[in-house]
Amino acid sequence: MATVPPGGATPLDQPWDAFWQDLEAFYRSITRYGAKNINAQALREDGRRLVQRYFREVRPELQRLGLAGETLASLDAPMQTLLRLTGGNNSKASYVTTLRSARALRASVEAEREQGFARALSAASPPLFGSKLEVDLHTTLESLDPTGANSYLQAILDLADMERLSHRGTASELRETLREVLDHLAPDNAVMKSPGFTLEKNRTTPTMKQKARFILKSRGTPGGARTSAESAIERIEDGTAALARSVYDRGSISSHVTSARTEVVHLKRYVEAVLAELLQVH
């Protein structure tokens, strides 16, 4: 019987692909057989092994994937018929008809099988977003700035990975999310042309805090809210810089990782608070 070529399929696909390779090999052997009836004992044994592979390996997998009963029954029928045919000296034509019936079902069963895998993977995966705010922010970011949306999503994925050893990159992703939004809503030229604007010392472009002030002031946001946003941005800048400078102490790497993750979680809350204000997501 045929075997799966090395490297030809993933482990999940091997029983399925091997079954169809065997079926095709058996079909070719039947069509090449010279007599009117299939009397060769070895050929009939191949047919029985094909049926066994289906009922012992393939069908249980299809059941686990939640394929419809009607789908399973449609494939069961030709396999049951084939098993009956291999039990005696039956006509070559009856074998050909039965195998063609099974072959005709492959595409539709395969499509339903892939849908079953998708359902199984979805059920096994943890929810991507942990709150409505995350969903709303990501949705808004996707429409406004896809690059910022990707950075935000990467930060969420990083924090969900409890095996992660470093969170400095996560902090940078969060900062980049905010920077992308500020650059989009407050281009440098527009901010620098605004009344009363002055560059901060040793700066050639507006700071993130100045951009946030420009955006919120142009919307008529009350001064208290503007001050809160600016303070949050200061915490974000300071927190990101501190994490970037951090060096692991080999004697306490576990506690360092835990502490760094906690800091990034707090940083994420500040970023989300500012983004919610800037993007008007509440």
Is residue 251 pLDDT above 50, yes or no?
no
Single pTM value for the model: 0.52
Per-residue pLDDT, averaged over 43-48, amounts to 96
For the stretch 46-95, pLDDT in tens is 999 999 999 999 999 899 889 999 999 999 999 999 999 999 999 999 99
Residue-level pLDDT at 127: 65
Tally of CA atoms within 13 A in the half-sphere of 188 that contains its CB: 7
For the stretch 6-26, pLDDT in tens is 344 444 457 899 999 999 999
DSSP assignments along 58-104, one per residue: IHHHHHHTT--HHHHHHHHHHHHHHHHHTTS-EEHHHHHHHHHHHHH
